[in-house]
């Protein structure tokens, strides 16, 4: 059987690995528009000059050769024929498949703000190429503006600060990383970033960007009337699943590629996994989806059930935070919101009727992996007679007597 | 593969496993010289205790389906196809701690001192005679056994 995988990132590589372990004789072709394998989650280490391109590769140096996989790099898929079963590439090759995995991820989005799309010094922060372009700007630029204070924006900011630029972060919400943090935990990070030289303009919005003779966006105007000077602008205002090349085909889409529980699209034999299916935007989920799609492509029937995606860990300047689920419940009164803190730690648990709905653990995040299990499986902890902050896996401990693996006693 | 099999009933919480683990990962130290007060002294296994649950040994299972490996975005966590053990390469790790979040049993943790790496059981792979914690347990509450994969 010949399997073609479009995309060589979390979902695509995890699928290729899974297939090679299960059925090593399967012929695999991986197509990617990029010419290197890299983890986007480490782009800030590249831009910050902590690691080179090799250092942010997440597979073995000879991954494709070792596994006998054909890799068409620098190759973009532009069209898909679901009847004749082939994809067409930018260099006009037709690559035929028995089964296809679409793992083309997402791309950043530039909001339609006057001047922003036209300006030549506006960069996203998604691919190594983006980081490389930013890297060369950093050689001369002094003032950087980051639009959006989500995780991607803060990754960019940390790297730009590392490079000695003056960094201003503009954010519509009233706190940074507003999807992952509450007011208190966000303030802790904001303070750290400010100590390292960043400035924040919160609860504010870019309304227009003035462009100079050279085509560069120089002055950024905000709804509040303020303005900021920029030599380089990073846009981190969200991403969209990328699937242009299926538009002329009969693959069903709705802002993302639609899949069933088996991660198969509406066309038999064509699967999709990772950010392109629009149900999560994080690495672990893309990996698991790639794995499950691969197993199903080999003829098994596995369902994608571990869908929980409201989860994140953050580590900036050595301050670590785990955040899960609904951490800013509304209206607050109808939830139990419990807080425990000391000078190094801030912990918050949001509950309702004994079920934990959200958790923030900032500071010491040792051994906190069990929280996700409790939340995603809606485990009632009201019967456990102890302070909720003292819960650990020990309260649910169970061992499989044959394999010795851990289970949950619930 | 080989796994450390736990008999919780036999554990009496002496923490010899912790000391052995710390010492095994501290160059040149032994049971008598190990500096337990040092910030570098980190155990990879834990005994949880409270009146209700008693002593609960929490040791890395080197799971058949390791969530830590599946969540790793740097390639630092890998399941060794030969030994079945989950290996951790500190030099690749980006300290994002997705693995800490995704280990359902709360085994993994950031290092205390720098928060730039993960503290993870390596099955004392470099030692000829197996995991140090097992050798140190006076109650045989933990034993290395062959399990099928
Ligand atoms: C700066 C940044 C930091 C992040 N940090 C974290 C983090 O700390 N933790 C976390 O869990 N997640 C993080 N994420 C999110 C995480 O990186 C994504 O969820 C993950 O990369 C999704 O993987 P994927 O395989 O679905 O797609 P992508 O990683 O988007 O990869 C898509 C692949 O498809 C290829 N491709 C796309 N279109 C075509 C085409 N037409 N033809 C050929 N090839 C094509 C691309 O070349 C690429 O190889 C971060 C993201 C960014 C941008």
List of domains in chain B: 1-59+121-149 (3.30.70.20), 63-106 (3.30.70.20)
C-beta separation of A175 from A264 below 8 A: no
Q: Regarding beta strands A199-201 and A166-170, do their DSSP bridges make them parallel or antiparallel, or are they unpaired?
A: parallel
Residue B64 has its nearest CB partner, among A10, A57, A405, at A405
* Set of chain A residues whose Cβ sits within 8 Å of the Cβ of B102: 284, 369, 372
* A250, two tokens: 């009969």
Q: Crossing angle, helix A283-297 and helix A10-22, to 10 degrees?
A: 40
| Of the candidate ranges A102-106, A109-113, B43-47, B50-54, the one whose mean pLDDT is the lowest | B50-54
For residue B96, list chain A residues with Cβ-Cβ distance below 8 A. 41, 313, 315
Can you give the pLDDT at residue A33? 97
- Band of residue B30 on the pLDDT scale cut at 50, 70, 90: confident
Give the residue from chain A lying closest to B143, CA to CA: A404
Region A332-348: mean pLDDT is: 96
Ligand 1 center to residue A274 CA distance, Å? 8
pLDDT tens for B93-103 read: 999 999 999 99
Domains of chain A: 2-107+240-297 (3.50.50.60), 122-237 (3.50.50.60), 311-408 (3.30.390.30)
End-to-end CA distance of chain A: 43
Question: Considering the entire predicted model, what is its pTM?
Answer: 0.95
| pLDDT of A55 | 97
Nearest-5° angle of CA A281, CA A287, CA A293? 105
Determine how many CB atoms are found less than 10 A away from the CB of residue A319: 16
Mutate to test the interface with B, among A36, A273, A291, A366 (most CBs of B within 10 A): A366
Cβ-Cβ contacts under 8 Å, B75 against chain A: 39, 57-60
What confidence score (pLDDT) does residue B31 get? 85
Beta bridge partners of A220: A209, A228
Kindly report, residue by residue over B44-61, the tens digit of the pLDDT: 999 999 888 899 999 999
Predicted local confidence at residue B37, as pLDDT: 87
ipTM for the predicted complex comes to 0.95
């Amino acid at each position: 059987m010949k399997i073609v995988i479009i995309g060589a990132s979390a979902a695509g590589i995890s699928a290729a690995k899974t297939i090679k372990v299960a059925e090593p004789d399967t012929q695999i072709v991986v197509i990617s528009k990029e010419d290197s394998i890299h983890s986007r989650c480490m782009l800030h280490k590249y831009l910050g000059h902590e690691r080179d391109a090799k250092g942010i590769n997440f597979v073995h140096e000879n991954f494709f050769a070792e596994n006998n996989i054909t890799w068409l790099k620098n190759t973009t898929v532009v069209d898909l024929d679901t009847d004749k079963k082939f994809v067409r590439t930018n260099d006009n090759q037709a690559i035929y498949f028995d089964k296809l995995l679409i793992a083309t991820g997402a791309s950043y989005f530039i909001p339609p703000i006057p001047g922003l799309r036209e300006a030549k010094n506006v960069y996203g922060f998604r691919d190594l190429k983006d980081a490389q372009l930013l890297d060369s700007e950093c050689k001369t630029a002094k003032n950087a503006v980051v639009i959006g204070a989500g995780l991607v924006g803060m990754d960019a900011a940390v790297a730009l600060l590392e490079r000695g630029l003056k960094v201003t972060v503009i954010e519509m919400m009233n706190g940074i990383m507003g999807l992952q943090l509450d007011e208190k935990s966000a303030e802790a990070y904001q303070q750290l970033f400010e100590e390292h030289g960043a400035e924040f303009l919160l609860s504010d919005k870019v309304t227009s960007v003035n462009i100079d003779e050279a085509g560069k966006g120089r002055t950024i105007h905000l709804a509040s009337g303020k303005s900021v000077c920029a030599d380089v602008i990073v846009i981190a205002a969200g991403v969209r699943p990328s699937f242009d090349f299926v538009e002329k085909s009969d693959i069903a889409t709705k802002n993302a590629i639609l899949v069933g529980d088996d991660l198969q699209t509406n066309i038999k034999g064509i699967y999709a996994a990772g950010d392109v299916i629009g149900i999560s935007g994080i690495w672990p989920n893309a990996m698991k989806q790639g794995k499950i799609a691969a197993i199903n492509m080999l003829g098994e029937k596995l369902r994608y059930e571990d869908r929980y995606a409201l989860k994140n860990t953050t580590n900036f300047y050595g301050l670590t935070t785990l955040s899960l689920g609904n951490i800013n419940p509304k209206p607050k009164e109808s939830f139990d919101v419990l807080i425990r803190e000391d000078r190094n730690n801030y912990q918050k648990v949001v509950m309702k009727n004994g079920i934990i709905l959200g958790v923030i653990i900032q500071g010491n995040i040792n051994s906190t992996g069990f929280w996700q299990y409790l939340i995603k499986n809606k485990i009632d902890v009201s019967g456990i007679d102890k302070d909720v902050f003292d819960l650990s896996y020990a309260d649910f401990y169970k061992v499989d007597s044959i394999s010795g693996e851990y289970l949950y006693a619930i | 593969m080989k796994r450390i099999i736990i008999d919780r009933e036999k554990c009496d919480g002496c923490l010899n496993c912790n000391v052995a683990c710390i010492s095994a990962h501290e160059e040149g130290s032994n049971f008598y010289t190990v500096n337990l007060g040092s910030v570098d002294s980190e155990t990879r296994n834990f005994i949880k205790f409270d009146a209700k649950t008693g002593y609960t040994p929490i040791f890395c299972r080197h799971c058949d389906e390791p969530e830590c490996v599946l969540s790793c975005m740097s390639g630092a966590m890998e399941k060794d196809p030969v030994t079945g053990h989950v290996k951790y390469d500190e030099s690749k790790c980006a300290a994002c701690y997705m693995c800490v979040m995704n280990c359902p049993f709360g085994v993994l943790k950031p290092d205390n001192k720098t928060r730039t790496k993960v503290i993870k059981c390596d099955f004392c792979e470099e030692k000829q005679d197996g995991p140090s914690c097992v050798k140190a347990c006076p109650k045989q509450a933990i034993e290395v056994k062959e399990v099928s994969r």
